[in-house]
């Protein structure tokens, strides 16, 4: 009964929030969380930072969702495990990329995943217009090419993008099979366990430093617990293709977070990219109301 009451309360609160607002809130939270995470790299490295992020988010989601394994089918548990593996891989590859290239550019390159989902799921000409605008914005944000960037950072960002596309598709399925954040809580536990070896190797004893722990918990809330919960709810109501185009806001918000938190400047080309991806996101937001609701 307690689990049911918690789930009902959580679902009721988020169900009253518009889908587009949930996605925008998730984007803002995760990008400012990522910029905060970059400040931990000197002490913990990307691997240690990812571990604290996933572990703290798992604790919060387990407390909120109180998921139970009993009564779950093998396919449901397999889905949660697959989602957890994708979460771990996506976070590890992205943070390793972020350690090598600027935040706004890393997210712009990573956006190939959501963009591919949007293109694959497009059914209307207007959707292709928004995808084209988003693609132009991404090219501007990457300054027209990646030849001057760290090669490993670019490759890791591309890997994170592939996993991000998988994340969108699996997230939509998870939201249909699990109530509230219970499925996400299980997946986050799997992700934290997968990240444990690399996290300990990178962070070592610094993982127990009170300051690092506090900052890591903040990163976990901003970058995982809050945005992933919002996205699970949003993907219950809008099509993955529409969600993928809405995520075109990510590079713009990342560039802004990089400026405000990390002092990474914005060139005129980057500002042009921000305008283009915002235009694409506004167009996608208009299409979201007409998108089919997942059942």
Mean pLDDT per 10-residue segment, the chain (295 residues)? 42 74 90 89 92 90 74 84 94 93 84 75 71 80 63 90 88 76 84 95 90 89 86 79 74 85 79 80 61 41
Give the list of residues 6+ apart from residue 66 with CB closer than 8 angstroms, or none. Answer: 2, 3, 6, 182, 185
With respect to residue 167, please indicate whether it lies within any of the assigned structural domains.
yes
Q: Write down the pLDDT at residue 65.
A: 66
With respect to residue 1, please indicate whether it lies within any of the assigned structural domains.
no
Domain housing 135: 19-288
With respect to residue 5, please indicate whether it lies within any of the assigned structural domains.
no
Which of 54, 24, 94 has the alpha carbon at shortest distance from 224? 54
With respect to residue 2, please indicate whether it lies within any of the assigned structural domains.
no
Q: Write down the pLDDT at residue 82.
A: 93
With respect to residue 202, please indicate whether it lies within any of the assigned structural domains.
yes
With respect to residue 295, please indicate whether it lies within any of the assigned structural domains.
no
Q: How many domains does the chain have?
A: 1
Give the list of residues 6+ apart from residue 85 with CB closer than 8 angstroms, or none. Answer: 190, 191, 194
Q: What is the DSSP letter of 181?
A: T
With respect to residue 283, please indicate whether it lies within any of the assigned structural domains.
yes
End-to-end distance of the chain based on CA atoms, in angstroms?
A: 24
Q: Write down the pLDDT at residue 242.
A: 73
Instruction: Provide the whole-model pTM.
Output: 0.79
With respect to residue 8, please indicate whether it lies within any of the assigned structural domains.
no
Q: Write down the pLDDT at residue 289.
A: 47
The number of residues making up the chain comes to 295
């Amino acid at each position: 009964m307690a689990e049911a009451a918690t789930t009902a309360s959580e679902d009721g609160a988020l169900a009253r929030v518009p889908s587009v607002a949930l996605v925008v809130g998730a984007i803002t939270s995760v990008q400012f969380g990522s910029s905060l995470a970059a400040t931990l790299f000197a002490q913990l490295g990307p691997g240690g930072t990812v571990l604290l992020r996933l572990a703290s988010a798992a604790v919060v989601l387990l407390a909120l969702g109180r998921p139970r394994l009993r009564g779950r089918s093998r396919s449901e548990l397999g889905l949660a495990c697959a989602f957890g593996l994708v979460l771990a891989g996506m976070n590890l590859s992205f943070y390793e990329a972020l350690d090598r290239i600027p935040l706004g550019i890393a997210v712009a390159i990573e956006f190939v995943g959501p963009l591919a989902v949007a293109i694959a799921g497009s059914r209307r000409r207007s959707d292709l217009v928004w995808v084209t605008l988003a693609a132009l914005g991404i090219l501007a944000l990457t300054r027209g090419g990646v030849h001057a960037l760290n090669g490993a950072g670019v490759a890791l960002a591309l890997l994170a993008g592939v996993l991000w596309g998988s994340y969108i598709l699996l997230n939509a399925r998870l939201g249909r099979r699990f109530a509230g954040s219970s499925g996400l809580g299980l997946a986050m536990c799997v992700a934290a366990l997968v990240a444990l070896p690399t996290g300990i190797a990178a962070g070592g004893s610094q993982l127990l430093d009170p300051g690092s722990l506090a900052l890591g918990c903040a990163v976990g809330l901003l970058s995982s617990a809050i945005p992933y919960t919002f996205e699970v709810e949003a993907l219950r109501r809008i099509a993955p293709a529409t969600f993928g185009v809405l995520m075109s806001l990510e590079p713009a918000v990342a560039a802004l977070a990089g400026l405000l938190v990390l002092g990474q400047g914005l060139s005129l080309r980057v500002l042009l990219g921000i305008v283009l991806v915002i235009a694409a996101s506004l167009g996608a937001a208009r299409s979201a109301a007409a998108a089919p609701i997942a059942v």
